Structure 1
Amino acid sequence: MTEVTIAKTAAITVGTGTDIRKIAVIERPATAASTAPALVWLGGYRSDMTGTKAVALDALAEATGTSCIRFDYSGHGASGGEFRDGSISRWLEEALAVIEAADPKSVILVGSSMGGWIALRLVQELNKRQSGPKVAGMVLIAPAPDFTSELVEPALSDKERLSLEEKGYFEELSEYSPEPNIYTRALMEDGRRNRVLTGIIQTGCPVHILQGMADPDVPYAHALKLMEFLPADDVVLTLIRDGDHRLSRPQDLEKMEAAVRSMIVRD
């Protein structure tokens, strides 16, 4: 008889004083027999843990008896905090806190878009601390490391630059939400402090990148650039010719699941 596990919803507190915020978490425990790494979902900018890819990852965890940890960054989904207060450092702090609270022995980080940047910063921070779980693998879906300085800032119009200077933010229409995307000066400045495309990124684990060649938000050239900063061994890049930024079609989800399964097996 197959063991069934139930995903549990919880909240953890991150920060102190006026910076305190509640972070919503959904954790599916592993089956008693499983020794596989926990799957950790790291969502993209303005996405949440109930999106198609996140739910598919949880379903994979259920099917394989593996633990799965999903959460919403502050200002996203079910978590507290204001979106405009968000930054890479702030969301990285929350990701570290969620993993620390779950306390897995090892993890496979699955990051989508901005979540790919968070994943790369996570492995750097965990290596620096020499504590916490072992990172057994990374699956990066349309990863957008350093997107503020590499993709957003070079494309700013004069009007957007003026808005950043005078208001401290600018807005742009979103193809994925009725609400506009908001980019703050604080996010831009913090992004520069969290750049990873500055030297070799020592992940210490296999990395599989999935990238759509028809992605209008993160061009596939960005994935090729990321490859230059990853060690040559154990890095795979899969280019999907007709794939967009979401990579949420059934055939895209199959590729994500296959990449994650391969890391579960090899660990």
Structure 2
Amino acid sequence: MIQNLTHELAVLAKAVQHKNLSAASVHVGISQPQLSRLIAKLESELNVLLLDRSARRKSGWTPLAHELALAYTKGIGRLTNEILAVAKDIESTELRIGTLEGLSQIASQFAQQCFEKLEVKTVYLDILDFKDLDSQFLSGDLDLLFTVRSPSKQKFTHQLEVGYQQMEKVSTDPNILVCSPSEISGVEKKQGGKNQRFLISNSLSIRSNWLHKVGGTGSLPIDAQKGRGKGYYSVYLFGQEMINPKLWKKISDLFE
């Protein structure tokens, strides 16, 4: 049973570090409803009570939740040390990389260097939106992550500032606002009007084609560049905590 709940227990171990479900959801990279369902699954499978739902507004953690999280953390800590002891001299020949579509050029250049300089045999390079990018990285499905923001508020051991990016503002039709799902809330509040129309797409190519060929108002990222540029958005590379230290050192050297 426990073997099938490792993901849920890992999330619980991070979540109990924050005082309630609402605060925890911000830091673990999944929505509050998703976190609530995950905790409910643990409670059902283990026949325990992890959330004190008697609070009027925000559910707090029970003492048992903290005990369970601590037990998992201690166990996974021992396992991690054992794995690292065995794997410290074994470098991965396969990497799973996630990137925003606007960072695909710098991610592709890095993938090429993985073959040429890191002796990696297989690279999976997936383009994802913010939500999927963050959740897949935090759940351990991605080894590396190219992004313009931290996937959560927790501190990461493996983090590099690897480039910069500028945004291009396009305004060919003020009545059609073109934006990504992550932009829509702020756009609606600031610019939404009675005659306003919205095109919302997680595809950068669709938004770009629409803005330049059909017409609309929105912002598009310009191809990211290596190095640092004043006044631009920073581009970051995050690596999993379990990534081989020697491999991470080689990756860091590529961006010096």
TM-score normalized by the length of structure 1: 0.22
Ranked by relative contact order (alpha carbons within 8 Å, sequence separation 6 or more), the top structure is: 2
- Structure 1 or 2: larger helix share? 2
Decide which structure has the larger Cα Rg and report it: 2
TM-score normalized by the length of structure 2: 0.23
